[in-house]
């Protein structure tokens, strides 16, 4: 790679639609587009089946009425609205829950090897926060599963069907920055081939950010090493906003020490959490549904147990997940992957012993704000204003169906429902003549700056050191419990880290499979997401869903029943209304959220 890359010496590859990211939402969108005849490509920094969707375990929540023939998508909608602590957009949640069954049946038709009930229908298991009859009919079992490898089965099925439809893949290509023209339209991305180092302008009429989450902003996370928020960071750098960035889900059961996820399905199948005294403490915090309360509720209860000295182990710093009472047969049939992970990473066989677990960063509820068609929007004069050419789907997007807390099993549904919707919308839009204007040479050069800077760096900070510093700062000051004065310290640290992130030294400047260059850019991406998170968390003076403030312990609907919108240019927060206008049902008004 030359140290001075300009528009004149890179090639332009032109597509109708470009999807950045080869995980669940990206490949569901590309599948829709590949069938349409539009020239589509998926650019992915890893071979698609290495994307993080592969790690999803327990399932995909959807009212397909298999376990309970009377199940109703409206009940699922109620649970999701309540789980979101009432700042999920109800039009989007309605779309998610009502379109869900179609999207799930399509996956089955594509070949997804769902587990089955005796009658041949798709197996469903109970997950947290699920109810029948709008919370009045007891626990529901609504999560469709392929054993405890649902994400793997889903991702492979989508890849397989993309192979069938002949989708173009630019595998192991890394997108660096979006290109935007003078009208503030997105016209594609600058990307390079990780294998050869070749840089190109991937030009498109529609660019979809399907780049997943950024759990790696925290030191302890269930997320893959590749979850660095690349798409969100690219749009932030381009000046586009991010929504609800203070909302990060800490999953109750990450394996202590290793961080690997242990599915909520374990508790759905009858497992439960115990403290050092062997007490099933969730009975105290959520007397009705116990271990199947919302994830935010369970995670906080666990942290309180640890803080009050009832944690397990030598340092009393974790909790046990008890499964042995389920018996070897159930564990081997329903949770084989968990048994494997537990043996490998906790050195514990759950058939005989409990698994040591601790709340671990798991999911980014926030992201690029979009409507149900995946269209990203900006905020101009307090009005939503669509950004032509820019779309987002999946964890990278904030549509917003998860609000302040995502329910288990809703992320896989989000991926397929909104990946599909985005693909369908782009198809219609481009076929009816929609699109964007071209970018000038100067516009493209602007997007090459960061790459050039790194390639020219002769001294500066080491990526690994700065990354560690960033992750520890976020873990210490912006974790499960937050406090204004701590967060202020965190913000000061972050401003020092920004200086380092902007002055990284890339020692290895070679072209062939240079993972150091990738990691340096990923760190810069993590930083943008971390900063958005920190500022949003500091500003929201209340406790809601995953955002728990020691200094503001109550939910404050008068002031904060709204989205927070982070503007990367002014680094400030504005409020945006939550949608309370679903079209097929009456809106669910906010109530006190108990389980």
Partner 1 sequence: MFGNKLEVSMYRYNPEQDEFPYMKKYKIEKPSKDIMVLDLLHLLKEEDESISYRRSCREGVCGSDGMNINGKNGLACITPISSVVKKNKIELRPLPGLPVIRDLVVDMTEFYAQYEKIKPFLQNDTTAPEQERLQSPEDRDKLDGLYECILCACCSTSCPSFWWNPDKFVGPAALLQAYRFLADSRDLETVERLEALSDPFSVYRCHGIMNCVSVCPKGLNPNKAIGEIKSMLLKNKKNIITSDGAHQ
Binding residue numbers = 21-26, 44-59, 230, 251, 263, 362, 395, 406, 411-412
Q: What is the nearest approach in angstroms of partner 1 to the Cβ of residue 476?
A: 22
Q: In what order do the strands lie in the sheet with 124-125?
A: 60-61, 143-144, 124-125
CA pair distance 479, 416, nearest whole angstrom: 29
Helix (H) or strand (E) holding 465: helix 463-477
Report the candidate in 443, 387, 376, 412 with the shortest Cα–Cα distance to residue 209.
376
70/559 with CB nearer partner 1? 70
**Which one of 25, 36, 51, 370 is in contact with partner 1 (CB under 8 A)?**
51
Task: Report residue 289 as tokens.
Answer: 């549904």
Q: What is the nearest approach in angstroms of partner 1 to the Cβ of residue 260?
A: 5
Binding-site sequence positions for FAD: 21-26, 44-59, 230, 395, 411-412
CA 225: distance to chain centroid? 14
197/270 with CB nearer partner 1? 197
Q: Which residues pair with 208 in a beta bridge?
A: 19, 391
Which one of the listed residues 28, 74, 149, 295 is annotated catalytic?
295
Q: What is the nearest approach in angstroms of partner 1 to the Cβ of residue 284?
A: 32
Looking at residue 409, the DSSP 8-state letter turns out to be T
**Which one of 2, 10, 72, 110 is in contact with partner 1 (CB under 8 A)?**
110
Name the phi and psi angles at 399, rounded to 5.
-90, -20
Task: Report residue 192 as tokens.
Answer: 């390079």
Residues contacting 315, CB < 8 A, separation 6+:
none
Binding-site sequence positions for substrate: 251, 263, 362, 406
463 binds partner 1 (CB under 8 A): yes
Task: Report residue 180 as tokens.
Answer: 């935007």
308/465 with CB nearer partner 1? 465
3-state SS class at 483: coil
324 binds partner 1 (CB under 8 A): no
**Which one of 25, 30, 98, 115 is in contact with partner 1 (CB under 8 A)?**
115
Q: Which one of the spans 3-11, 14-22, 67-75, 341-349 is the region binding partner 1 (CB under 8 A)?
A: 341-349
127 binds partner 1 (CB under 8 A): no
Residue with tokens 């529901």: 140
Q: Examine the residue annotation and report whether 295 is marked as an active-site residue of this protein.
A: yes
Environment class of 122 (CB within 10 Å of its CB; exposed 0-12, middle 13-18, buried 19+): buried
156 binds partner 1 (CB under 8 A): yes
289 binds partner 1 (CB under 8 A): no
341 binds partner 1 (CB under 8 A): yes
How many Cα atoms are found within 13 Å in the side-chain-facing hemisphere of 274? Answer: 14
62 binds partner 1 (CB under 8 A): no
70 binds partner 1 (CB under 8 A): no
**Which one of 2, 35, 49, 68 is in contact with partner 1 (CB under 8 A)?**
49
Please give the residues from 178 up to 207 whose contact with partner 1 meets the rule CB under 8 A: 195
Looking at residue 160, the DSSP 8-state letter turns out to be H
310 binds partner 1 (CB under 8 A): no
3-state secondary structure 297-331: HHHHHHHHHHHCCCCECCCCCEEEEECHHHHHHHH
Q: What is the nearest approach in angstroms of partner 1 to the Cβ of residue 214?
A: 15
**Which one of 109, 136, 325, 458 is in contact with partner 1 (CB under 8 A)?**
109
Task: Report residue 302 as tokens.
Answer: 């666990």
465/577 with CB nearer partner 1? 465
Q: Which one of the spans 69-77, 493-501, 503-511, 525-533 is the region binding partner 1 (CB under 8 A)?
A: 503-511
Report the candidate in 337, 298, 295, 335 with the shortest Cα–Cα distance to residue 319.
298
CA pair distance 92, 109, nearest whole angstrom: 25
Look at the chain and count its residues: 595
CA pair distance 70, 301, nearest whole angstrom: 33
22/252 with CB nearer partner 1? 22
Strands 168-171 and 40-44: parallel
5/236 with CB nearer partner 1? 5
Q: Using omega within 30 degrees of 0 as the cis cutoff, is the peptide bond preceding 202 cis? A: no
113 binds partner 1 (CB under 8 A): yes
**Which one of 132, 152, 300, 322 is in contact with partner 1 (CB under 8 A)?**
152
Interface with partner 1 (CB under 8 A): 46-47, 49-52, 54-55, 64, 104-105, 108-111, 113-122, 146-147, 149, 152-153, 156, 160-161, 163-164, 195, 224-226, 258, 260, 337, 340-341, 344-345, 462-464, 507-508, 510-516
Catalytic residues: 295
């Amino acid at each position: 790679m030359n140290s001075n890359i300009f528009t004149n010496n890179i090639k332009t590859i032109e597509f109708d639609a470009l999807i950045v990211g080869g995980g669940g939402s990206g490949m569901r969108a590309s599948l829709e587009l590949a069938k349409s005849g539009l020239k589509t490509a998926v650019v992915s920094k890893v071979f698609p089946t290495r994307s993080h969707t592969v790690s999803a375990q327990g399932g995909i929540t959807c009212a397909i009425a298999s376990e309970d023939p009377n199940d109703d998508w409206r009940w699922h909608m109620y649970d999701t609205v309540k789980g979101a602590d009432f700042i999920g957009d109800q039009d989007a949640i309605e779309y998610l829950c009502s379109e869900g069954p179609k999207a799930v049946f399509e996956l089955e038709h594509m070949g997804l090897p769902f587990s089955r009930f005796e009658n041949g229908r798709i197996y469903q298991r109970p997950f947290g926060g699920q109810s029948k009859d709008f919370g009045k009919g007891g626990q529901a079992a609504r999560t469709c599963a392929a054993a405890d490898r649902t994400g793997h089965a889903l991702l492979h099925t989508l890849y397989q069907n993309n192979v069938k439809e002949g989708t173009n893949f630019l595998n192991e290509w890394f997108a660096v920055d979006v290109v935007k023209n003078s009208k503030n339209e997105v016209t594609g991305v600058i990307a390079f081939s990780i294998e050869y180092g070749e840089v190109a302008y991937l030009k498109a009429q529609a660019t979809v950010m399907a780049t997943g989450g950024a759990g790696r902003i925290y030191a302890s996370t269930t997320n893959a090493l590749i979850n660095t928020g690349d798409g969100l960071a690219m749009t932030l750098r381009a000046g586009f906003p991010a929504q609800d960035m203070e909302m990060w889900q800490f999953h109750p059961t990450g394996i202590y020490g290793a961080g690997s996820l242990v599915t909520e399905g374990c508790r759905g199948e009858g497992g439960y959490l115990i403290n050092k005294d062997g007490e099933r403490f969730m009975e105290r915090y959520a007397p009705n549904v116990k271990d199947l309360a919302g994830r935010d509720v369970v995670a906080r209860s666990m942290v309180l147990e640890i803080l009050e000295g009832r944690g397990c182990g030598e340092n009393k710093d974790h909790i046990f997940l008890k499964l042995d009472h389920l018996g070897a047969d159930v564990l081997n049939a329903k949770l084989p992957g968990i048994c494997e992970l537990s043996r490998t990473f906790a050195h514990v066989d759950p058939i005989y012993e409990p698994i040591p677990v601790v709340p671990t960063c798991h999911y980014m509820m926030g992201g690029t704000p979009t409507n149900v068609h995946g269209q990203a929007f900006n905020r101009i004069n307090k009005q939503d204003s669509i950004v032509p050419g820019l779309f987002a789907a999946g964890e990278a997007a904030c549509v917003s169906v998860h609000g302040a807390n995502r329910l288990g099993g809703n992320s896989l549904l989000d991926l397929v429902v909104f990946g599909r919707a985005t693909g369908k919308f782009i198809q219609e839009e481009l076929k009816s003549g929609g699109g964007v204007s071209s970018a000038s040479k100067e516009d493209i050069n602007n997007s090459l700056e960061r790459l050039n800077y790194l390639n020219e760096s002769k001294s500066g900070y080491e990526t690994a050191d700065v990354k560690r510093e960033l992750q520890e700062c976020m873990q210490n000051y912006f974790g499960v419990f937050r406090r204004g004065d701590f967060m202020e310290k965190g913000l000061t640290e972050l401003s020092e880290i920004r200086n380092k992130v902007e002055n990284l030294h890339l020692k290895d400047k070679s072209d062939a499979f240079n993972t150091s260059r990738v990691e340096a850019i990923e760190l810069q991406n993590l930083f943008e997401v971390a900063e958005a998170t920190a500022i949003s968390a500091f500003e929201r003076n209340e406790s809601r869903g995953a955002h728990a403030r020691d200094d503001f312990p109550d939910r404050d609907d008068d002031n904060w029943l709204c989205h927070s919108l982070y503007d990367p240019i002014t680094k400030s927060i504005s409020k945006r209304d939550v949608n309370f206008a679903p079209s097929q049902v009456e809106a669910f008004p906010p109530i006190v959220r108990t389980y």
